[in-house]
A and B are shown apart, each in its own frame.
Chain A
């Protein structure tokens, strides 16, 4: 297959999947088979891109030119390749999990659920492979719109309110800040292509660049940098598979991915170092890390706590990107992967607990580790990864970020990393402790064991991936290091 056709397939295959899901919705088994087949096919297609990108040939494609000089174009570079691989791989696991979850919870409207899920994945693929800001923005909005039906799936008052906050914040930030930032970039630079070394150098003054960068960082609401984070806890009204893949991986990573790409390919590290106020955005990300952790500490609901943990972890990536040290950029890219494995595991566990025991609150978890040993073991792995303890994925990216902080001798970053590690431990470890070392207060309403096997299999797999990534992170780090190479 030529690289061009691979890119087309990456975006089109999930859409075809969505269409087929809608068509065969009457037969649930067939529908689920379509979902799984599409997910596996998509991952297989994504792996075909590794070779062209690693060999430096790259893959690019121009589809249309809606405005003169402004193209809908795709260009796969290392960062996007890893994001596409990650999202498509985890879609397979999440599909297995979702089948167990949706059937276990006896949810209505499963056909639109799986169909919109596939559309959202298509949006994520488009974000990953976008060759310029316009194309990225298109798929960024596809991702926003296609996840609204998923967030409001329950169609009750809470879902409607959550959906309103979700759309309100995401569309306000993207239309209010991101879009004008993109138009502005285009007006001053004459292009929005992602280019090694950036496109703004010499085209914009330092003060204007500071305003522009602020618009990009705040406009990318999906990155959930405070004060644009409110949509993420609101999105937790969605069924757990959505929270797991979309609101811990695809959607939120699309946000930090956008910021990382803007920092590296639009501004360029050298130019950004000369931009005033850049440090203040770094401080904002640092503040988000610590503040979100403190808020997480106070949460009662498991999913809400995980959401605030995600907000905090996302800002690791934003912070790392803005440190402007080579190691930190690699750390940012690697953390996109590392956090994904750990956080999806944690959400899978939260969903499994809900399906098996109907429990949603942290204070209900005493002794649950002995009823659901697999689930809580996986939870422990995920929690350790959030804290950054070896042998888990979280340690790898933290290592690079801290190395980057030393490269530019930023003690602010070191202090934030230290504080947040302590806070992460403070809200995750008590849960593990409670689950394994406290007796149940009273017998639960119904006797239960583990959740249905597809869910347990999925969460065991992602927990394994979290540990494996600690050992076998070489290829990913290797690919990601190429983002800072000089073009050939």
Chain B
């Protein structure tokens, strides 16, 4: 079998494994199956990326030719995203075992089944070349995500899940309306066909409305300021393992769909006739500043990191508003790098919750003495978040600043740098509390997190430094992808 024939299995394996997983009893079996399925998917993506670099891979389902059947169409942009999602799954699942045992003690079969469904949904969104199929996978991943969030231990998890459900459904519906309008105007749902036909009818209000619906719908899904209100609650109250996975992948996939729709389907020329650039630039800047400032005085760790995520989405929005190869490449690189750093940060937060049962700032005081490795990981990932050189975060910042300077956009430069400094404040606040404050009295001494939590955490930390030095995978592929996006049709 060739890489092309293996390609659909990266989605199908987790999708088929999910119902089996739901039926498995106990704790070990469902987890093992989930890990196996995700690992299989990850191995496939590792072969897909190099194969998709030169020429897009095209796979027609059921051998139906594209306009009739659904087509998978993979170039360097979505191959990179698929690689990221699957491999984050592989790193997160070993970490999740202990954390989930603690936070979701019962009915783990269905839990891991939902996890697989969410992952398969995200993979499907990324790989498909069909605008309606995106909606289908979007719903698969969203519905399972709502259920996953509701697994949180506190009652607030239900409310957060419900809020996300309302906002997510609104977003998906908006997207669907947009796709419907496109279908009416062009008679096709295949993205490549759409890209050819949209320019003929671009001067119509229906297409403009479709653009607006799709962009706003996806803006909700990717938590673009001010449509981010669902995110902090969802990230805070979800089980830690779910938070890690969502923060590393879910919003990123929505960004991908946005890029695909705006640049491939509608085309850069059309997007520039709409206020795309102004809107994303303005909201990106406000988002960076507002969310970073909000992060500074959050009462607990996960909530702080959630606001930081909203700020990072602001960076990505700012990057893709620059509509240049450099800008888009910076955005794509940051999607990848942010997954590494935020994944590690939420893992550290999860390890703290595992040991002391809470992540309130006041309880973190003096924790570096009893959990030195966990806090070190937090600080190292925090340095990447700030953008200290030799870390992945530095590459993101550098690429973004460079793109902004090339366009003479000094406001963007200033905002990016101010954002970094605000990150110093919110990361520094945790570091100061953990390292310099006296620990509160505890009934029993706190021990370091178990190796099962530390190892995956340090794999991500290592990745943060690796991709801060060797950027062949990230920056080169992202630049290649950005050229494809700016160039128009895939």
Contacts and interface: CB of A to CB of B under 8 A. Distances in A.
B421 A175 contact: yes
Interface in A120-179: 134, 137-138, 141, 145, 149, 152, 155, 159-160, 163-164, 167-168, 171-172, 175-176, 179
A443 interface: no
A312 B387 CA distance: 32
A186 B405 CA distance: 10
B406 interface: yes
Contacts of A187: 402, 405-406
Given A137-B389, A138-B389, A175-B420, A67 B471 contact: yes
B294 to A, nearest CB: 20
Given A66-B468, A145-B383, A183 B398 contact: yes
Interface size class of B (residues with CB under 8 A): 20 to 34
B420 A64 contact: no
B13 interface: no
Contact of B469 (A64, A141, A145, A163): A64
With most chain B CB atoms within 10 A of its CB, the pick from A64, A145, A171, A176 is A171
B198 interface: no
Given A134-B389, A180-B417, A66 B424 contact: no
Interface in B384-403: 386-390, 395, 397-399, 401-402
Contacts of A184: 405
With most chain B CB atoms within 10 A of its CB, the pick from A134, A137, A163, A183 is A183
Contact of B424 (A64, A149, A167): A167
Contacts of A171: 386, 421, 424
With most chain B CB atoms within 10 A of its CB, the pick from A72, A149, A176, A179 is A179
Interface residues of A, number: 29
Nearest to A138: B389
A152 B468 contact: no
B67 interface: no
Contacts of B435: 149, 152, 155
Main SS of chain B's interface residues?
helix
B199 interface: no
Contacts of A172: 421, 424
A168 B427 CA distance: 12
Given A183-B401, A187-B405, A159 B436 contact: yes
A172 B418 CA distance: 9
A155 B433 CA distance: 10
A167 B428 contact: yes
Contacts of B397: 179
B436 A163 contact: yes
B388 A141 contact: yes
A65 to B, nearest CB: 8
B322 to A, nearest CB: 14
Contacts of A66: 395, 468-471
With most chain B CB atoms within 10 A of its CB, the pick from A66, A68, A141, A176 is A66
A67 B478 CA distance: 12
B436 A160 contact: yes
B109 to A, nearest CB: 44
A180 B413 contact: yes
Interface in A61-106: 64, 66-68, 72
B473 to A, nearest CB: 12
Contacts of A67: 395, 398-399, 471, 475
B432 A164 contact: yes
Given A138-B389, A159-B436, A175-B417, A186 B402 contact: yes
B395 A183 contact: no
Nearest to B392: A66
Contacts of B387: 175
A477 B78 CA distance: 59
Interface in B421-475: 421, 424, 428, 432, 435-437, 468-471, 475
A67 B396 CA distance: 11
Nearest to A64: B469
Contacts of A134: 389
Contacts of B402: 183, 186-187
Contacts of A163: 432, 436
B432 A179 contact: no
A49 to B, nearest CB: 24
Contacts of A141: 388-389
Interface string A282-299: 000000000000000000
B417 A179 contact: yes
A184 to B, nearest CB: 6
Nearest to A183: B401
A164 B388 CA distance: 17
A171 B424 CA distance: 8
Contacts of B469: 64, 66, 72
B275 to A, nearest CB: 28
Contacts of B390: 138
Contact of B436 (A152, A175, A179, A183): A152
Interface string B28-48: 000000000000000000000
Contacts of A179: 397, 401, 417
With most chain A CB atoms within 10 A of its CB, the pick from B383, B418, B432 is B432
B401 A176 contact: no
Nearest to B395: A66
A200 to B, nearest CB: 15
A155 B431 CA distance: 12
Interface string A419-432: 00000000000000
Contacts of A145: 383, 388
With most chain B CB atoms within 10 A of its CB, the pick from A152, A164, A180, A184 is A180
Nearest to A149: B435
Contacts of B386: 171, 175
A180 B388 contact: no
Contacts of A72: 469
Nearest to A172: B421
Contacts of A155: 435-436
A149 B405 CA distance: 35
A68 B478 CA distance: 13
B468 A160 contact: no
A141 B397 CA distance: 15
Contacts of A168: 424
Nearest to A144: B388
B475 to A, nearest CB: 7
Contacts of A167: 424, 428
A160 B429 CA distance: 11
Nearest to B400: A183
A66 B402 CA distance: 14
A163 B33 CA distance: 49
A66 B476 CA distance: 10
Interface string A32-76: 000000000000000000000000000000001011100010000
20 contacts: A66-B468, A67-B398, A67-B475, A68-B475, A137-B389, A138-B390, A145-B383, A152-B435, A155-B436, A160-B432, A160-B437, A164-B432, A167-B424, A168-B424, A171-B386, A171-B421, A175-B386, A176-B417, A183-B402, A184-B405
Interface of A: 64, 66-68, 72, 134, 137-138, 141, 145, 149, 152, 155, 159-160, 163-164, 167-168, 171-172, 175-176, 179-180, 183-184, 186-187
Given A67-B398, A159-B436, A167-B424, 5 more contacts: A138-B390, A155-B436, A160-B436, A175-B386, A179-B397
The 4 residue pairs across chains A and B that have the minimum distance between CB atoms: A138-B389, A183-B401, A155-B436, A175-B420
